[in-house]
Amino acid sequence: QVQLVESGGGSVQSGGSLRLSCAASGYTYSSYCMGWFRQAPGKEREGVAAIDSDGSTSYADSVKGRFTISQDNAKNTLYLQMNSLKPEDTAMYYCAAQGEGKTYYGGGYYYCVGPLRPYEYNYWGQGTQVTVSS
């Protein structure tokens, strides 16, 4: 049974930093593409960042240069380092896994299809709240 558990959310002032973690279990972590998404009240869920099994990354324009996605395959853990946070980053942040026929395989690695499209992902965590005050 696939489980994704996020942690690390909280309240910070504008310009501050947070590091989110996502502990994954129940599947072969390295054979999935992983992503971070967020959803603010009244808005649609949007892609923030994604990482292929070879470490290639994708970012939403709104977070480029401020957020960094990374993973530790040995620990089956995904991270999102968020710096220079802004009030508009306030949202529930979700970790997600894409696999089982959705990723494409090549050269020994699994690559995301539509890395920032929520509907491309198979599994989701429960989310962790990030609140940035001005």
**H or E stretch including 14?**
none
Q: What pLDDT is attached to residue 33?
A: 94
Give the Cα separation of 55 and 89 in Å (integer). 24
Residue-wise pLDDT for 24-67, tens only, equals 998 888 889 999 999 999 999 999 999 999 999 999 999 999 99
